[in-house]
Chain A
Amino acid sequence: MTDAAILKKTPPSLPILARVFFWIGVMSFGGGLSGWIHRQVVQKYGWMDNDDVLSGIALAQVLPGANVTNLCVYVGYRMRGTSGATTCLFALLAGPTVICVLIAMAYHLLQDYPVLQACVDGVAAAAVGLNMRLGIIGAQRVMPRIAPTLAMIATFLAVGVFEWPLVPVVLVIAPLSVAAVWPRGARDA
């Protein structure tokens, strides 16, 4: 079955992809972009079915990189191949790149106001809570199994407590962790 055969309709053109992903990027205040992409691509435009996008979300989470840009690349690739993926990625990032620098510039001008300082501290603390929640979701998924739990704790201790460099830590722990859960007698390599 070819990729095109899995798709429900004729894939959208590149300019349409660019427009839709540009607005997803700009409107995505507060995060939750993967939810946005799912809503637009499946529910609003019906370009892909639910399972296809969920499979993309799983892939996006497994691979390194921001989950949302990975999902965006996946959707773009399924629609229009490599040029679709490139279009979606640049369209998604264009708006937010400009907006976050403008916000940083505005903050730079106004940073002497204590109210703004307190806002920044409060937002930072709450945003840390958002990340903590993501960590908890991940922890709940791995806790029942011993090897993944050990991998999680080892990663946290190495990077968070001992402050060892990330790249070598991941390069050592990732293969061990995957090997520990590798299916015995796998059908394919």
Chain B
Amino acid sequence: MRDDSTFSLYMSLLAVFVPFSLVAIGGGGSIFAPIQRESVDVQHWITGREFVELFAIARVSPGPGSMLATVIGWKVAGWGGALVATAALFIPSSILCLGVAKVWNRYRGRDWHKALETGLAPIGAGLMFAGVVAILKLAHAGPFAWGLAVVVALILTWRPKTHPFAVLLIGAVVFNIQLWLAH
């Protein structure tokens, strides 16, 4: 049994995440900026602080980082919301991918493959940086968080084999040391 308000929450989750699913070029990280804007500023589902928390939770959980949508859905409308948001974010792009995979196999290595790749890659990169800015604007520690993010990016550039979980752990430890020093 679900009442009207739960149903309308499901509908708004669909309305927000389905379009994002189809424009997330370069991966889930590319739509974090607009997800933040929609869920915090437009729909008022969560506060900026909660967004940062959910972003971190999605990152330490298994699965793609875009499971951010799943935890936002949970926050908005419980387990049902989590399922609706997950389906809304992952199914439309997957159907598109399935359609393209059928064509792709038939025309391997053609020139327009390369053109699509070269033409869309910069949009993914630009969106990724936009997501970085959106999340850091919300993070409390300000310059300290910026500094850590840059250091992490440098570590990974220098040592690409570093396990992602190791740098997340470093982040948690560094912020706790800062907390401890502040006392």
* A contact residues vs B (CB 8 Å cutoff): 3, 25-33, 55-56, 58-70, 73-74, 77-78, 82, 85, 89, 92-93, 95-97, 99-101, 103-104, 107, 111, 114-115, 118-139, 141-142, 145, 148-149, 151-156, 159-161, 163, 165-167, 170-171, 173-174, 177-183, 186-189
Interface residues of B in 63-100 (CB under 8 A from A): 63-67, 70-71, 74-75, 79, 82-83, 86, 89-94, 96-98, 100
A27 to chain B, nearest CB (A): 7
Known A97-B70, A99-B61, A128-B135; contact A133-B141, beta-carbon cutoff 8 A:
no
User: In whole angstroms, how far apart are the Cα atoms of A124 and B140 in the complex?
Assistant: 10
Is the pair A25, B127 in contact by a Cβ cutoff of 8 Å? no
Task: List the A side residues contacting B126 at CB < 8 Å.
Answer: 151-156, 159-160
Task: List the B side residues contacting A166 at CB < 8 Å.
Answer: 20, 23, 31, 33-34, 127
Task: Return the chain B residue nearest A150 by Cβ.
Answer: B122
* B contact residues vs A (CB 8 Å cutoff): 19-29, 31-34, 37, 52-67, 70-71, 74-75, 79, 82-83, 86, 89-94, 96-98, 100-102, 104-105, 107-108, 110-136, 139-141, 144-146, 148-153, 155-157, 163-168, 170-176, 178-179
A182 to chain B, nearest CB (A): 5
Is the pair B152, A133 in contact by a Cβ cutoff of 8 Å? yes
Known A31-B164, A61-B27, A129-B151; contact A101-B70, beta-carbon cutoff 8 A:
yes
Task: Return the chain B residue nearest A26 by Cβ.
Answer: B62
A131-B65, A160-B130 are known; give 19 further A-B pairs, CB within 8 A.
A26-B62, A30-B168, A62-B117, A65-B22, A73-B101, A97-B70, A111-B53, A121-B139, A124-B55, A126-B152, A128-B145, A128-B149, A134-B27, A151-B126, A152-B123, A160-B133, A171-B23, A186-B112, A188-B110
B168 to chain A, nearest CB (A): 5
User: In whole angstroms, how far apart are the Cα atoms of A21 and B116 in the complex?
Assistant: 29
User: In whole angstroms, how far apart are the Cα atoms of A149 and B112 in the complex?
Assistant: 19
User: In whole angstroms, how far apart are the Cα atoms of A115 and B180 in the complex?
Assistant: 9
User: In whole angstroms, how far apart are the Cα atoms of A120 and B61 in the complex?
Assistant: 12
Is the pair B179, A187 in contact by a Cβ cutoff of 8 Å? no
Picked from A29, A61, A95, A173, the residue with its CB within 8 Å of the CB of B121 is A61
Identify whether the interface residues of A are mostly helix, strand, loop, or mixed.
Answer: helix
User: In whole angstroms, how far apart are the Cα atoms of A56 and B66 in the complex?
Assistant: 20
Picked from B107, B136, B167, the residue with its CB within 8 Å of the CB of A130 is B167
Task: List the B side residues contacting A115 at CB < 8 Å.
Answer: 176, 179
Picked from A31, A63, A68, A104, the residue with its CB within 8 Å of the CB of B100 is A63
Is the pair B70, A123 in contact by a Cβ cutoff of 8 Å? no
Is the pair A66, B175 in contact by a Cβ cutoff of 8 Å? no
Is the pair A138, B122 in contact by a Cβ cutoff of 8 Å? yes
Picked from B75, B86, B115, B139, the residue with its CB within 8 Å of the CB of A181 is B115
User: In whole angstroms, how far apart are the Cα atoms of A133 and B67 in the complex?
Assistant: 19
User: In whole angstroms, how far apart are the Cα atoms of A155 and B172 in the complex?
Assistant: 31
Task: List the A side residues contacting B114 at CB < 8 Å.
Answer: 183
Task: List the A side residues contacting B62 at CB < 8 Å.
Answer: 25-29, 95-96, 99-100
A68 to chain B, nearest CB (A): 5
Is the pair A122, B63 in contact by a Cβ cutoff of 8 Å? no
Is the pair A100, B152 in contact by a Cβ cutoff of 8 Å? no
Is the pair A124, B97 in contact by a Cβ cutoff of 8 Å? no
